[in-house]
Amino acid sequence: MAEDCLFCKIVRGDISAQKVYEDDDVLAFRDINPEAPTHVLLIPKRHLPRVTDATAEDAVLLGKMLLGANAVAEREGIAANGVRYVFNTNQDAGQIIFHAHMHILGGRPMGWPPG
């Protein structure tokens, strides 16, 4: 884990978060500035700065992120009507916390294009 990373601090328990899902490898918690009625962030517990930093060795972890996101969508009641999973990677895409994370959004119709 990175000492100064906000999400690593949440994983360690140094900063509280409203957790909605957790297993050995990933953690999901409510976004403090939601962009939809349901807005959850899902992170790997291991520090990975960007999803583009993932290697072949991270394939299982990335799969666990997707399965965790599916579990969150079901638990939150947004899977049936529609859910959006988003990774923002690097500055131009809007990444501001450099610990890979997936946004899980739902509870309202989503427009396209998204940005």
Indicate the pTM of the whole model. 0.94
Domains of the chain: total: 1
38-78 confidence digits (pLDDT tens): 999 999 999 999 999 999 999 999 999 999 999 999 999 99
- Annotated active-site residue 101? The verdict is yes
80-91 confidence digits (pLDDT tens): 999 999 999 999
List Cβ neighbours of 42 (8 Å cut-off, separation of 6 or more). Answer: 21, 26, 27, 28, 65, 68, 69, 72, 101, 102, 104
Find, among 100, 1, 115, 102, the residue nearest to 52 by Cα: 100
Find, among 115, 112, 103, 108, the residue nearest to 33 by Cα: 103
**Residue 38 falls inside a structural domain:** yes
The active-site residue, picked from 39, 99, 101, 103, is 101
Structural domain for 37, as ranges: 6-106
Question: What's the CATH code of the domain at 35?
Answer: 3.30.428.10
